[in-house]
Chain A
Amino acid sequence: MGTSVFTNYEECASVILFVIGMMNLLLQSNLIKKIIGLDIMDASVYLFLAAKGYIEGRHAPIYTDGITDASYYINPVPSGLVLTGIVVSVSVSALMMALTISLYRQYKTLNLDEIMMKLRKQESEEFIALSNKTEGEGSK
């Protein structure tokens, strides 16, 4: 066990947010709540990256007064990575929402368990219909 768990509040918060999002993903049966859980996980990763880029007592990575000394600015790389992550997460959430709407149009419910039950029922009905059909053909 290291010693910095009591000084790295930002990283601890991001870990807790990550687990909250993951529990949402695992335990909620509502599809919209699952998507919200995934977005919480995304946010926790951004918090972690932003916290890693910070250096105490330094300035935002925008050149001021022509200073090009690396010890004056914080680390710009994690900021760029967060930007990339936000864009991809927006696209992923929009796509998931669209798929959820398609599912809702088909099954009239957002509950994943109910959708699975309806799917099973549909499959077994199709199976019975198929077996009826083949039996009818066999007797001919």
Chain B
Amino acid sequence: MSRKNPDYEGSKWQHFAQWTKGEYDPQKGKLETHPPVKSKKSGTDIKGYLRKMWNENKDLYEEKQEKELSLFEKIYFFVAILLGVFITILLLVTVSHLPRFGDANAPENNEVARRYIEKGLEETGAVNIVACMILDYRAFDTFGESCVLFVAATCVLMLLKSDGKEKKDTESEYVTRRSEILRPAARILVPVIIIFGIYVILNGHLSPGGGFSGGAIIGAGLILYLTAFGFERAGRFLSEKNIRIITVLSLTFYCFAKSYSFYTGANHLESIITPGTPGALLSAGLIVYLNICVGIVVACTMYSFYVAFRRGSF
């Protein structure tokens, strides 16, 4: 049971609530105020006068504007060149004070990089130091990147989405013509490209590559498939809904897997994730799975970009 205030109407809380709604003015009657004076010149007169002036002096005004515009363009060009020269000189002077190219004692080769290299294999089990850095030590950063990609793909689709009316008019434009060269070539190339992309993703912790490059390769394969076989065939399994579901599932898995790893790591708990034997395919703890997630997100994003720019919708 809540207790009711019998004097609620006059309570301070009630006044405050009324004040926030704009019904009550605590300073009413206490301050000197002037009643608002109605101006004699009403707004319509000024606008009508302006309109008259505009119609009378239109040519003069436009001529003057053109003159000002050409002067502004000249000054703009000059100032832009000046700015460019100034920034070039400034940056070249800065470069001249930097350490020599390839210098081992440069300040950026500090204990951070040394720590990653010396402990990376032992702590994460990944052979590729860059992969162990971006998907283990800095995994949160990579999660943000994947989210940036997802948001960018969504925004592009939103901006370019054509409404149904327009689509019907231009539908015939997007019907893929039967091409004698493209289709047989795509039939051979698409599986090879996609398998190579999967190889790059799965070996991301062992060799150069990883989720981003492998995902881009798979995306290129999907785009080739779409170009060769048309929207109808590609849309069977690559519909907008499927792509959204796959992307969001990958991002969610990434989020939960890495949260678990952070939670156990920060609290010194026993974790089921082990570095494994370095060099094996299923080693390096979470890195393989996170690489797969990132690869799926990148491939779907590349494909959605292409579809959005080509047709506006799936």
Contact = CB atoms under 8 A, between A and B. Distances in A.
Chains A and B are bound partners: yes
Interface of A: 1-5, 7-12, 15-16, 18-19, 22-23, 26-27, 51-58, 60-63, 66, 68-71, 73, 75-80, 83-84, 86-88, 90-92, 94-95, 97-99, 101-102, 124, 128, 130-132, 134-135, 137-138
Given A15-B92, A77-B133, A70 B98 contact: no
B159 A70 contact: no
Contact of B138 (A5, A70, A80): A80
Nearest to A124: B54
A63 B102 contact: no
Given A4-B96, A79-B130, A131 B145 contact: no
A88 B145 contact: yes
A132 B51 contact: yes
A88 B184 CA distance: 35
B5 to A, nearest CB: 50
A62 B209 CA distance: 11
Interface string B3-42: 0000000000000000000000000000000000000001
A55 B116 CA distance: 16
A52 B108 contact: yes
A4 B141 CA distance: 34
B83 A26 contact: yes
Interface string B57-96: 0000000000000000000010011011001100111011
Contact of B101 (A54, A57, A63, A130): A54
Contacts of A12: 92, 95
B96 A97 contact: no
Nearest to B142: A84
Contacts of B113: 70, 75-77
B80 A62 contact: no
B53 to A, nearest CB: 11
B152 A94 contact: yes
A62 B129 contact: yes
A7 B43 CA distance: 69
Contacts of A10: 101
Nearest to A12: B95
B101 A9 contact: yes
B212 interface: yes
Contact of A76 (B50, B129, B142): B129
Given A56-B102, A98-B155, A132-B51, 10 more contacts: A4-B96, A23-B81, A56-B103, A62-B208, A63-B129, A75-B109, A83-B134, A91-B148, A101-B159, A124-B54
B276 interface: no
Nearest to B79: A26
Contacts of B102: 54-57
Interface string B106-131: 10110011101110111000011110
